[in-house]
């Protein structure tokens, strides 16, 4: 992906679509954090520092991955899960809503003519990185959706054979 990324109007449309998902109880168990512009380089430097402190950025290639992690696309949207215990809505159902929000964001980016990719990677699961990126107490990242102009035609990766994953219920 490359520049240009979505402008404010397109990004607003994408986030509106991302927020229109099944949401039992109207809890909105997700929120969005937008990363763009020069902030992406600043984030890369901090993620490199965190990775170095944890001993996971040993090679020069890995150091470069950390520095460029948020510059892979002009706009990155962090999707934060706020799923929490509730007397009527199971956490699992809230997490499904968060995942649907991520997928709607990917679909909305395509509908607006942009390429996108939903990634999780270590920064979602590392407490220090997640806190730096904006996760608050009790929250975690469902992933980051990278959005930009496509630089190549999409290609299909191998998918499961439908015969292996589809069955028809029969009373039994």
Give the pLDDT of residue 135.
Answer: 98
**Domain total of the chain:** 1
Q: According to the model, what pLDDT value does residue 57 have?
A: 85
Would the annotation count 20 as a binding residue? yes
Instruction: Check whether 69 is labelled as a binding-site residue.
Output: no
Residue 146 structure tokens? 């990278």
118 appears as a binding residue in the annotation: yes
Query: Does 86 appear as a known binding residue?
Result: no
Instruction: Give domain status of residue 26, yes or no.
Output: yes
Does residue 83 fall inside a structural domain?
yes
Q: Is 68 annotated as a binding residue?
A: no
| Residue 89 neighbours by CB under 8 Å, 6+ apart | 24, 25, 27
Task: Report the C-alpha gap between 79 and 101 in whole angstroms.
Answer: 8
Cis peptide leading into residue 26 (ω within 30°)? no
Reading the chain (172 residues) residue by residue, the pLDDT tens digits are: 999 999 999 999 999 999 999 999 999 999 999 999 999 999 999 999 999 999 888 889 999 999 999 999 999 999 999 999 999 999 999 999 999 999 999 999 999 999 999 999 999 999 999 999 999 999 999 999 999 999 998 888 899 999 999 999 999 8
List all residues 6 or more positions away from 15 whose beta carbon is below 8 Å from its beta carbon. Answer: 32, 77, 105, 108
The confidence score (pLDDT) of residue 58 equals: 82
CATH number, domain containing residue 16: 3.40.109.10
Q: Is residue 2 part of a domain?
A: no
Give the residue numbers spanning the domain of 24: 8-165
């Amino acid at each position: 992906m490359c520049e240009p990324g979505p402008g404010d109007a397109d990004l607003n449309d994408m986030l509106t679509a991302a927020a229109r998902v099944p949401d039992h109880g109207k809890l909105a168990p997700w929120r969005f954090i937008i990363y763009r512009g020069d902030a992406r380089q600043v984030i890369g430097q901090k993620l490199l520092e965190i990775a170095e402190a944890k001993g996971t950025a040993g090679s020069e290639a890995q150091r470069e991955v950390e520095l460029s992690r948020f510059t892979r696309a002009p706009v990155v949207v962090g999707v934060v899960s706020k799923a929490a215990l509730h007397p009527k809505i199971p956490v699992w159902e809230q997490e499904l809503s968060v995942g649907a929000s991520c997928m709607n964001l990917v679909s909305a980016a395509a509908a607006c003519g942009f390429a996108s990719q939903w990634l999780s990677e270590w920064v979602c699961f590392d407490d220090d990185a997640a806190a730096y990126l904006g996760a608050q107490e009790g929250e975690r990242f469902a992933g980051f959706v990278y959005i930009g102009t496509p630089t190549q035609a999409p290609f299909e990766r191998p998918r499961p054979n439908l015969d292996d994953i589809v069955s028809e219920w029969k009373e039994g």
